[in-house]
């Protein structure tokens, strides 16, 4: 865990729980860390670039957390620089719960999953909603011409902290593309075996 993340996540009440449960000493060294790791490194950037979806939590004006899954083509959540992410807000069910929440409270918590590799990255950030007319060059960077979705605005996220979770309890799951890639050599081997079998059957049997 980075110091930038623990500074935000370890509130006084969280710290009190850690003290009561005996885990506070193990986490105390984070408070002394000089490098806060509040900017993404190449490892996080590469991981984010491959994701085709993520879970996003926002907070409503009545204090309720709200989680929505955001999906799109791999890489639709872009790393603009080490402190900035952006994604196109596609037109969907037009409930605008996330947008409404973000208008009052700019904090988001993202969870990015790689089920196949059992990896999980959590990001805390602050959001600015950017309308198309405001920053046309940013909108152009986020357009996905091959994807059948209308982009309503850009969601710009300033990264405040991040944390990699341990792989425990992440059941490996595979996308259609990942399964296809794994199965392809098997398909080829099967086709080759079938061809050999056909060739064998085509040979006249001895004594016939
Ligand atoms: C026609 C239609 C298209 C949608 N397309 C997407 C999409 O491309 N990506 C996505 O994450 N959700 C999509 N959704 C699901 C949600 O509507 C969308 O995430 C929405 O923006 C959620 O907003 P909320 O913050 O009000 O929950 C779609 C829904 C509909 C009805």
Please tell me whether residues 88 and 76 are part of one structural domain.
yes
Give the position, in ligand 1's atom list, of the atom nearest the Cα of 96: 26
Residue 58 lies in a domain: yes
Please tell me whether residues 13 and 76 are part of one structural domain.
no
Please tell me whether residues 108 and 68 are part of one structural domain.
yes
Please tell me whether residues 78 and 28 are part of one structural domain.
no
* Local structure of 97: helix, strand or coil: helix
136: domain CATH number is 2.30.110.10
Please tell me whether residues 12 and 81 are part of one structural domain.
no
C-alpha span between 16 and 24 (Å, rounded): 8
Ligand 1 centre distance from Cα of residue 68 (Å)? 9
How many separate domains does the chain show? 2
Whether 184 contacts 28, CB under 8 Å: no
The structure's pTM equals 0.90
Please tell me whether residues 31 and 6 are part of one structural domain.
yes
By DSSP bridging, strand 151-164 and strand 84-90 are antiparallel
Full domain range(s) for residue 16: 1-36
Please tell me whether residues 10 and 64 are part of one structural domain.
no
Local confidence pLDDT in tens for the 208 residues of the chain: 889 999 999 999 999 999 999 999 999 999 999 889 999 999 999 999 999 999 999 999 999 999 999 999 999 999 999 999 999 999 999 999 999 999 999 999 999 999 999 999 999 999 999 998 899 999 999 999 899 888 999 999 999 999 998 888 999 999 999 999 999 999 999 999 999 999 999 988 776 6
Please tell me whether residues 100 and 149 are part of one structural domain.
yes
Residue 193 lies in a domain: no
Q: CA dist 60 to 96, 105, 130, 143, 195, Å?
A: 12, 7, 19, 28, 62
The binding-site residues of ligand 1, defined as CB within 6 angstroms of any ligand atom, are: 68-72, 90, 92-93, 95-98, 149
């Amino acid at each position: 865990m980075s110091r930038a993340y623990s500074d935000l996540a370890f509130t006084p009440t969280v710290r009190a729980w850690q003290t009561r449960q005996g885990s506070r000493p193990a986490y105390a060294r984070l408070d002394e860390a000089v490098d806060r790791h509040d900017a993404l490194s190449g490892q996080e950037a590469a991981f984010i670039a491959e994701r085709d979806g993520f879970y996003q939590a926002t907070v409503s004006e009545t204090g309720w957390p709200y989680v929505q899954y955001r999906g799109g083509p791999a890489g639709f959540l872009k790393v603009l620089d080490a402190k900035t992410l952006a994604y196109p807000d596609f037109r969907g069910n037009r409930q605008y719960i996330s947008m409404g929440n973000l208008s009052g409270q700019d904090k988001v918590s993202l969870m990015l999953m790689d089920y196949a590799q059992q990896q999980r990255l959590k990001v805390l950030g602050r959001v600015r909603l950017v309308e198309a007319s405001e920053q046309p060059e940013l909108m152009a960077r986020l357009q996905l011409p091959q994807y059948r979705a209308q982009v309503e605005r850009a969601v710009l996220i300033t990264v405040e902290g991040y944390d990699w979770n341990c792989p425990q309890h992440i059941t490996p799951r595979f996308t259609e593309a990942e399964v296809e890639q794994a199965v392809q050599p098997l398909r080829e081997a099967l086709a080759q075996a079938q061809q050999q079998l056909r060739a064998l059957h085509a040979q006249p049997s001895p004594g016939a």
